[in-house]
Structure 1
Amino acid sequence: MKNKKVWTLKSIANEIGVSNATVSNAFNRPDQLSKKRREEILASCQKLGYSGPNKAAQSLRSGKFNIVALVLPDSVEYMITDPVASDFVKGVSSVLEKNKVSLLLFSGISDNINSVADFVDGFICYGSPRNSELIEQLRTTAKKVVTADFDIDRKASVGIENEKAAYEIAKLGIHSKGDDIAILGLRLLDSSLTCRVYDLPNSDSQSSISHQRLNGYNKAIKELNVNLRADRVWNIPENKHHFALIAAREALTSIPRPNVLLCMSDLIALAAIKEINAMGLQIPEDIRVVGFDGIDEALRSTPSITTVHQNNVKKGVKAAELFIERATDSVMIPYHIEHGGSC
């Protein structure tokens, strides 16, 4: 069987008797040729089996790939099922598509962004990756980086005031000095277990939204002169129902039983409400619950959840705009409190 000839820009130009530039213009700069001339060249190339200049080679020469890697804090499988993360991805992709830029999803549990750095224009990083090595690689890469919900001093970031929002929502949940508080936290520890938190590791509060939210809760608790028992903070490793349910059951069977649950996400709050209902307790009469994120399911639940609503689609849009514009701004997205029936 006769091998199919592999054409290059130079060889195809020689074959049809035109310059390299003329062939290149026919594919990439049609305004440089008359319509008739361009159609003749494209027809000749098609007949000979030449589909155009090598895009990969062009990108390598120019350093422009029109691809952005979106670094997720966890596995891609987990993140695309999380309603908060999926809204962020929607926002990012809406801007990139308008600018004819492709999106590459990159798992935050991977060990090396350098495996894709040579083939992308840069990185948008959503949340602090679980792999700490990636943070240093993002800090030192020569490519453009925009971070969301954490900062690595690259001067392009987007987020909300997590500590302030957590402080405000906690003050809505706590009504008196005699309240008994439980905090259902998210990723307060580097652990795969749902467990109580007695000692927190030293951490940079600017790089962890969970610790920022915990700081906000503690500020409200201290200001209201409420006692938080040493065994009433839980670590939930992933924002998933079954992990949250374990923490909620432990909290609700503690003695004395807490009457206020401060939940670091709406998914955690929804799991807690399910367990409270199963125990035959009343919300908010027996137990008050607050959430964080403002996902649609929280607003539709019975009762609806009092929560911090952050516009994650808008956050994704702004992150992508910062990338496209090569901006160096640090942008705070506004949030608001959704007053539901849970407290």
Structure 2
Amino acid sequence: MDSPVPPAPPRITLKDLARELGVSTASISNAFNRPDQLSPKLRERILSEARRLGYSGPDAKARSLRTGRSRIIAVVLAETLTYSLNDAVASELLAGIAEVLDAHGHTLLLLSGRQHVSQVPGAANMADGYIIYGLMPSPTMLEGLPVQRPMISVDFDIAGHPKVHVDNAPACHAIATHALADPPRRPGIINLRLTETACNGPVTADHTLLGADQTITRSRLSGFHRALEEHGFDPATVPMWNIEENTFEVCAPVIEAILDAPDDERPDLLLCMSDRIALTVVTLAEQRDLRVPEDLRITGFDGIAEGQYRAPRLTTVRQDSAEKGRIAARMILGLSPREDRLLGTELIIGQSCP
């Protein structure tokens, strides 16, 4: 005969823990949700005793029903979670957001814009606010979010909501102006997800480009084009390619075709819309014994660490992605005004295009 299963020990409540420690229930709640309201010593005492007694913290759903706030901030990412956490720019942005949320006792919920709306966890509807990052593959998820909650977009425009951008067009004008000061014979541009329909290869007259209100890369292209015009090039005659995903695996086939063109057709300057694209060009050019910058000059955009640690060091535009995240987080928490913000960038002259 099986032994009876012993009953589970009673679940300790917030009031039980407060009584055990001789502190108020507000102090217990603050230890978990508003650490800035307590001394470090008191907070550590509360958390230590909570661990010993098996108390995991105030129930988020109950708190949400009681106060109307969950202390959850959702970040909706344009890409998959795996891609975003491995991408240097996206991970810096998330680190900046998390820094602010941690300091003010909020939880970060990550969502992918590539999820079907049916896959979105129920906690998404409990969030106190939403930070939307990057060009969404479909508006379906955004349309399903509660309209009464604050929403901030980063590197993306949503009508009626504040946005956080860097100065994409002026930054690309500046880096292209630098590159064109030594006139190339055959400049080319490698875009990042700039066509309305999927295109991983040459951009032709049959392709329609996304507008500046849909993607920041259109603003980057306008900066390149303005510099080309100022240096006597007709932008319509400068060849362009489009990359669908900012990864080596997706970039490589497009770039291999560019570099394998005959010598008299291959570009001698490539203006790239991301450092990942530019680094892929450098790697594949080296494999073909093309000298950088003697045979091919290359520029990037983002200023990721990898581009500055390897040789040749990238000429690029550095954007402070972590600060973009901090600004968006402060805005969503109401710690700073919810208004459009435009951040400056820094031109970095490296060896890939001296």
TM range (shorter): 0.7 to 0.9
1:311 partnered with 2:320 = yes
Going from structure 1 to structure 2, the CA distance change for 1:210 and 1:53 (only over 3 Å counts) comes to closer
75, 81, 84: which is aligned to 2:86?
81
Q: For 2:241 and 2:79, locate their aligned partners in 1 and report how far apart those are by CA, in whole Å.
A: 20
Tell me the distance in 1 between the aligned counterparts of 2:142 and 2:125. 18
The equivalent of 1:38 in structure 2 is none
Of the three residues 268, 289, 292, the one matched with 2:298 is 289
Aligned equivalents of 2:323, 2:251: Cα separation in 1: 27
Q: Which is higher, the Rg of structure 1 or of structure 2? A: 1
Deviation at 1:311, TM superposition (A): 0.7
Q: Cα distance 1:115–1:197, how it changes in 2: closer, same or farther (>3 A)? A: farther
- State the match for 2:344 in structure 1: 334
Is this contact kept in 1: 2:196–2:207, CA < 8 A? no
Query: Structure 2 matches for 1:1-343, cutoff 5 A?
Result: 1=4, 28-29=25-26, 54-112=59-117, 115-137=122-144, 141-175=147-181, 179-190=185-196, 194-198=200-204, 199-201=206-208, 203-228=210-235, 232-255=239-262, 256-325=265-334, 327-343=337-353
With over 3 angstroms needed to count, the CA separation of the structure-2 counterparts of 1:104 and 1:178, relative to structure 1, is closer
Pairwise CA distance, 1:28: 2.1
| 2:304 partner letter | I
Q: Return the alpha-carbon distance in structure 2 between the equivalents of residues 217 and 268 of structure 1.
A: 16
Letter of the 2:92 counterpart: D
Distance 1:244 1:7, change over 3 A: closer
Partner SS, residue 29 of structure 1: helix
Structure 2: distance between partners of 1:272 and 1:30? 56
8 A contact 1:264–1:292 mirrored in 2 = yes
Deviation sequence 1:85-140 (CA, Å, 0-9, x none): 001011000110000101011001124369544321111111122223334456x7
Could you tell me how far 1:189 is from its partner in structure 2? 2.5
TM-score by length of 2: 0.80
Provide the residue aligned with 2:35 in structure 1: none
Report the Cα distance in structure 1 between the residues aligned to 2:124 and 2:294, rounded to whole angstroms.
Answer: 54
Asked if 1 retains the 8 angstrom alpha-carbon contact of 2:186 and 2:267, the reply is yes
Alpha-carbon distance, 1:191 to partner: 5.2
Classify the secondary structure of the residue corresponding to 1:313.
helix
Q: Which segments of 5 or more consecutive residues in structure 2 lack a partner in the other structure?
A: 29-48
Q: Is the 8 A contact 2:109 2:124 kept in 1?
A: no
Q: d(CA) in 2 for partners of 1:260 and 1:136? A: 42
Conservation of the 8 A alpha-carbon contact between 2:189 and 2:238: no
Query: Matches of 2:91 and 2:99 in 1, distance apart?
Result: 12
Deviation at 1:51, TM superposition (A): 8.3
Shift of 1:77: 0.6
Pairwise CA distance, 1:336 = 0.7
Q: 1:273 to 1:213 in 2, by over 3 A?
A: same
Q: Distance in 1 between matches of 2:116 and 2:57?
A: 36
Q: Please report the TM-score for the alignment, with normalisation by the length of structure 1.
A: 0.82
Deviation (angstroms), 1:8: 11
Cα gap change, 1:30 to 1:122, in 2 (>3 Å): closer
Give the SS at the match of 2:189. strand
Question: Which secondary structure does the structure 1 equivalent of 2:135 belong to?
Answer: coil
Q: CA deviation at 1:330?
A: 1.0
SS of 2:74 mapped into structure 1: strand
RMSD of Structure 2 on Structure 1 (CA): 3.2
8 Å contact from structure 2 (residues 196, 210) kept in 1:
no
Identity rate, percent: 30
Residue range with higher mean Cα deviation, 262-271 or 229-238 = 229-238
- Conservation of the 8 A alpha-carbon contact between 2:197 and 2:207: no
Amino acid of the structure 2 residue aligned with 1:241: F
- The alignment partner of 1:292 has SS state of coil
Instruction: Confirm or deny: 8 A CA contact 1:184 1:247 kept in the other structure.
Output: no
Give the conservation status (yes or no) of the 8 Å contact 1:151–1:206.
yes
Where does structure 1 lack aligned partners over 5 or more consecutive residues?
A: 17-21, 32-42
